[in-house]
Amino acid sequence: QSALTQPPSVSGSPGQSVTISCIGSSSDVGNYNRVSWYQQPPGTAPKLMIYDVSYRPSGVPDRFSGSKSGNTASLTISGLQAEDEADYYCSSYTSSSTMMFGGGTKLTVL
Amino acid sequence: QVQLQESGPGLVKPSGTLSLTCTVSGDSISSSHWWGWIRQPPGKGLEWVGYIHYSGSTYYNPSLMSRVTMSIDTSKNQFSLRVTSVSALDTAVYYCARNYGGNSYYDFWGQGTLVTVSS
């Protein structure tokens, strides 16, 4: 199974909004609302930020939002803050009953 | 609060077997959730390895399926990973994590443990 496709890097200035895309196929993202997003600062374990496409776990700021259209899921971070700088990964359930991750996107806050 | 802790050798010889254990606290490993392993080679992205349910059901990454085995010990509230015939490509930080309800998201993660394959 190939990884979900994410842009290697995105950047934005404090206060701006950025969107990270996650492109899959009809065998994963397009057919299941089981897309999640994880934030990983350097040297730390991933942290769940969005689950089931658009739901936020308790404690995650509402600046983080998720959506999906067809085979593409997206994570939007509005009101960018310096503390948001990290690697971000999407994940999806697949038709083979497995899970898969995207290649990761490095977010730089300018 | 659910906590997971990986344990096992940090160094494995090429062609040997990598063995890790994850100890769960704050939740029963016999619950409805699934328990998984995710790995991350140095400087690279996350790779899904597989997950297991207390019933014994397992699903593995197709690219690793021939070398991976997961098991569960309900008496110790632990689950384990074995990877055989390892090479340098298996060098990675290995995370254990809880998959909420199965086919879903990972809501609790261990801190990760680095396993290096080298002679």
Q: Which residue has the tokens 């909420």?
A: B100
Do the chains contact at A45 and B46, CB–CB below 8 Å?
no
Closest CA relative to residue B22, chosen from B2, B3, B6 = B6
Chain A residues within an 8 Å CB radius of B63: 1
Buried b (16+ CB within 10 A) or exposed e, B45-70: bbbbbbbbbbeeebbbbeebeebbbb
Tell me if chain A has a CB within 8 Å of the CB of B46.
yes
Distance from CA of A96 to the nearest CA of B (A): 9
* Mean pLDDT score across all residues of chain A: 96
CA distance B84 to B68: 7
| Residue in the structure block whose two tokens are 């009953």 | A97
Q: How far is A53 from chain B (nearest CA, A)?
A: 10
pLDDT, mean of residues A71-77: 98
Residues of B in contact with A96 (CB under 8 A): 59, 62
* Ranges of chain B with pLDDT below 50: none
Which among B52, B6, B5, B7 is positioned nearest to B26, based on CA atoms?
A: B5
User: Tens of pLDDT along A17-64?
Assistant: 999 999 999 999 999 999 999 999 999 999 999 999 999 999 999 999
